[in-house]
Amino acid sequence: MTPPTDSRRGFLGRAIALLAGGTALLAPAVWGSIAFLNPLRLKGRSGGFRRLASLDQLPEDGTPLRLTILDERTDAWTRYPIDAVGAVFVRRTGKDRVEALQVTCPHLGCSIVYQAAPGGGAFLCPCHQAHFDLNGKRIDLPSQSPRDMDALEVEIRNRNEVWVKYQTFASGTAKKIATS
Amino acid sequence: MLHWLNDRTGCCDAWRRRADAPLPGGAGWWKTLPAAVLFVFCVQAITGFFLWTYYSPGAQSAWESVYYLQSEVAGGWLLRAAHHYAGQTLPVLVGLYLIKQVFSGTYRRTYEAVFWITLLMALCTLGLLLTGDLLAWSQNSYAATQVRVKFLTLLPGVGEGLYRIAVGGPAFGNLTLTRFLALHVGLLSGGMALLLILHGVFLRRADHNLLPSPFGRGAGGEGKGTKAPEPALTLTLSQRERGLSTFWPDQAWRNALVWLGILAVILLLALMHGTEGPDRGIKLGSPADLDPAHYYAAARPEWIFRGLYQFAQYFPGLWTVIPIFVIPGVLLAVFLLMPWFGKNVVGHFFNLLLTAFLVSAVAVLSYLSYMHDAQDPAYSAALKEEDNLAERVIQLARAKGIPPTGALTLLRNDPLTQGRRVFQQHCAACHTGAGVPAVDATAPNLTGFASRPWLAGLLDPQKIRSADYFGYKDSPFKGGRMVGHVMELLSDLDDDEKEDLKKLIMALSAEARLPAQRNIDARDAKDIEAGRKLIAEGEFGCTDCHRFHGKGQRVGPELTGYGSTEWITAITGNPASKRFYGARNDRMPAYAETDDETKNLLRNHDLEMTAEWLRGEWFRPKK
């Protein structure tokens, strides 16, 4: 009864060839992919509250100031002891009330600019022309931005110090999801 | 010798088969398109390899290595320009080839595989353009790529993860460059090479299937179950005489001419801006600046993506996912199925219509996008600013060399660039200064601050109450002591007193050691010495209120070192300190209130840059 043996051996041979060959080729691809996907593990640096300005430095008429967030920044193997890691718009909304907005556009991460104008300016994202009012609310609906500008937590400490919790948020989503 | 080689490798036989294979439908100019694609790819492989020998991916070295190639390496600029423009012709040629296949009907049997391969080549080409654009690491390439990769985040759920994988971390940086380089020169270039080889094999096979016996398997032969006859290895003279053209030389000479033509076009484009000067070849732009405060507002995708860019504008917010992912995805699927649709006349007609519609839509949308930009003053302003920045950084790099921290450091340490920027962002809300007008002038004009003419104006009873000095909007100083003092004491001066005032102004101005006054300060050393005495103990009464070299009261700002970099940095750091205005400070913010730079509005370095910019103290290239 040779035929069944032959076909069994033939099957075994094919199975071994495919499995062994496949495994041998797959292994380096898997190692490589694990390394390649490493960025998924990296998190943005979480800032916590930081002192940004004194209250009396902010214009009383509510004009926003664009302040750079200075911090240590790490770019893979390079560490910058002090560098611009982001920026915020800070403005007074009352005698001792302050609002802070992330400058990064919630649409695709461009930097929003403040456009001064007589009688009150507005915010504009130059990439895809999303407009926001001074509170960061979208105007000219429908807007390119999926949500309003991201407000940051602000605390007034020791009466005169403006502390802001600097965070970044996921772009391209209607929901405000913190990424740091 | 050749015989031996052929025996071992079969190379001559292979060439024979290739050269003498008859072409269905004969030779023709349209048939040069795949050869043209192959040629441009070869140009890219060759120029790309040599570019690679100079390129260093990294946030502090990518732009710098390209700058070096562009400006220091013999013919480097031409190499880069050729690679750039050849890269621009690639999507045109692949696109033309696709259109040609659709319109000539040769996407259907027996050419389905050729058509699919061409589609994949088109995708690969777009990928090469997208990854290659970033590698120069200039402001435009960074900002435009940033937005394009951010599109990934629009994909619900997986978006953020895909973005990180593409970018190599939470934000652009070193790893983005290493990744994009690997994709560009490895995966995508290798993929393109493989596709070109497969294209050749499949095309030969499709031609062969279409040719009548004895050259092929008979017209339209699907070859189901029938064994293909052996291909004819050589044509006899009589066969050639029957009008069947072969690849060699009928198609080959056309291909070669087209190659020369393309090369001429690439060279013409590369030489468009001459062979001298910073504009030769293609501009490099200024180095990518990741500081969001310096974001490049005129970032636009390359022309090939312009239509899509414009199309996406019509879809607000999260709907952007439709033009960017859904519609291109559906279109790709439709194109892959085209050979199947094309089996009947209606389907073929649909394919023709769709292709024609797409081509015209992209053309119209691109046109609209360019028109929109041409009419946008903010866009032109951003372009101009970027041009200036690029010119400046190259000027600095040429004169000073690039430090290990990269070319961006040159701009950060350049008062003309950084000082002006800081002034624009933080000071120009109230102050006018050296060509930067105030948004709403509510503070003195600082143009020429501490120079002799500026001080002469300040100490002029006619001018001190003007908007340029203490007469600005809502000024508390308009009726203040200084104004009163000047009005009272300096109004009716006799000639001797006028001379004394001149010396006083010279002396005070000399405290600043302004670079523009270096010569006249040296010339007037005697008068300046006399002026110093007048300030310290003269009848003008300066030291009644001001401190000057250890003498005088601290009521108004100190005059020692008035207008020097140290003085300006200190007063902008904290104008309400005892040394300056104290409690009488008007609205001027303290930009460096604490000793910890991270807690201040500005870094000390930025204050210094602004001071030097105001003083006109920056590098000027020798003519």
**Does A120 or B112 have the greater pLDDT score?**
B112
- pLDDT-based confidence at residue B189 (cuts at 50, 70, 90): very high
Residue A10 distance to chain B (closest CA, Å): 26
The percent of residues in chain B predicted with pLDDT above 90, rounded, is 65
pLDDT single digits (tens) B405-437: 999 999 999 999 999 999 988 888 889 998 888
pTM: 0.89
| B438-465 confidence digits (pLDDT tens) | 877 888 999 999 999 999 999 999 899 9
* Tens digit of each residue's pLDDT (9 = 90 or more) over A92-108: 998 889 999 999 999 88
pLDDT in tens, B98-157: 999 999 998 988 899 999 999 999 999 999 999 999 999 999 999 999 988 999 988 988
Instruction: Find all residues with CB under 8 Å of B556, minimum gap 6, and list them.
Output: B481, B482, B545, B546, B581
pLDDT at B225 over 50: no
Q: Which residues of B touch A86 (CB under 8 A)?
A: 292
Of the two residues B54 and A72, the one the predictor is more confident about is B54
Give the per-residue pLDDT at A61. Answer: 82
- Please give the share of chain A, as a percent, with pLDDT higher than 90: 36
B113: distance to nearest CA of chain A, Å?
26
All structural domains of chain A with their residue ranges: 1-41, 49-165
Residue-wise pLDDT tens digits, B502-516: 999 999 999 999 999
Q: Is B349 left (phi over 0), alpha (psi -120 to 50) or beta?
A: alpha
Q: What is the pLDDT of residues B191-203, one digit of tens each?
A: 999 999 999 999 9
Q: Is B194 on the interface with A (CB under 8 A)?
A: no
Cβ-based contacts of A40 with chain B (< 8 Å): 161, 164-165
pLDDT at B481 over 60: yes
Per-residue pLDDT of B9-34, as tens digits, reads 999 998 888 888 888 878 889 999 99
A interface test, pick of B146, B314, B598 with most A CB neighbours within 10 Å: B598
Of A12-16, B96-100, B237-241, B491-495, highest mean pLDDT: B96-100
Q: Per the structure block, which two tokens stand in for A17?
A: 């060839």
Contacts of B590 in chain A (CB under 8 A): 54, 57
Whether B609 contacts B418, CB under 8 Å: yes
B382 contact residues in A (CB cutoff 8 A): 126
In the A/B pair of chains, how many CB contacts fall below 8 A?
Answer: 144
Phi, psi angle pair for B62, to nearest 5°: -65, -60
Percent over 70 (pLDDT), chain B: 95
Interface-testing mutation among B148, B153, B375, with chain A (most A C-beta atoms within 10 A): B153
Tell me which chain B residue has its CA closest to the CA of residue A129.
B313
**What does the block give as tokens for B536?**
């310290």
Q: How far is B148 from chain A (nearest CA, A)?
A: 8
pLDDT digits (tens, 9 = 90+) for B232-289: 444 444 445 456 788 888 899 999 999 999 999 999 999 999 888 777 899 999 999 9
When the pLDDT of each residue in chain B is averaged and rounded to a whole number, the result is: 90
Maximum average pLDDT range among A39-53, B170-184, B238-252? B170-184
Q: How confident is the model at residue B215 (pLDDT cuts 50, 70, 90)?
A: low
Q: In what order do the strands lie in the sheet with A154-157?
A: A49-54, A161-165, A154-157
Beta carbons of A108 and B150 less than 8 Å apart: yes
In this model, does residue A15 exceed pLDDT 80? yes
Calculate how close chain A gets to B479, using CA atoms only, in Å. Answer: 23
Contacts of A103 in chain B (CB under 8 A): 292
Produce one character per residue of B342-370: b if its CB has 16 or more CB atoms within 10 Å, e if not.
beeeebbeebeebbeeeeeebeebbeebe
Chain A within 8 Å of B539 (Cβ-Cβ)? no
CA distance B296 to B141: 10
CATH class of A49-165: mainly beta
C-alpha to C-alpha distance for B488 and B475, rounded to whole angstroms = 19
pLDDT band of residue B294 (cuts 50, 70, 90) is: confident
CA separation (Å) from B357 to B99, B351, B352, B353?
12, 10, 8, 6
Question: Once rounded to an integer, what is the mean pLDDT over residues B214-222?
Answer: 51
| Least confident interval from A87-91, B44-48, B214-218, B438-442 | B214-218
Does B159 contact A at CB distance below 8 Å?
A: yes
Helix (H, G, I), strand (E, B) or coil at A47: coil
A-chain residues near B426 (CB < 8 A):
65
Residue B561 has what pLDDT? 94
CB contact under 8 A, A172 and B164: no
Cβ-Cβ contacts under 8 Å, B368 against chain A: none
In this prediction, residue B243 carries a pLDDT of 63
How confident is the model at residue B123, as a pLDDT? 97
Prediction ipTM score: 0.87
Under an 8 A CB cutoff, do A40 and B439 touch? no
Q: Is the pLDDT of residue B219 over 50?
A: no
Q: How confident is the model at residue B393 (pLDDT cuts 50, 70, 90)?
A: very high
Q: How confident is the model at residue B585 (pLDDT cuts 50, 70, 90)?
A: confident
Hey, what are B202's tokens? 């499949």
Q: Which of residues 69-108 of A touch B (CB under 8 A)?
A: 70-71, 75-78, 82-84, 86-87, 103-104, 107-108
CA dihedral angle for residue B102, residue B104, residue B109, residue B111, rounded to 10 degrees: -70
Q: In angstroms, what separates the C-alpha of A7 from chain B's closest C-alpha? A: 26
Candidate from B174, B440, B599 with C-beta closest to A76: B174
Angstrom distance (rounded) from CA B452 to CA B504: 10
Judge whether residue A4 has pLDDT over 60: no
Alpha-carbon Rg for chain B, nearest whole angstrom, is 35
Q: What local confidence, expressed as pLDDT, does residue B217 receive?
A: 56
Mention every residue, 6+ apart, whose C-beta is less than 8 A from residue B37. Answer: B90, B93, B94, B97, B121, B196
Please give the average per-residue pLDDT across B566-574, as a whole number: 95
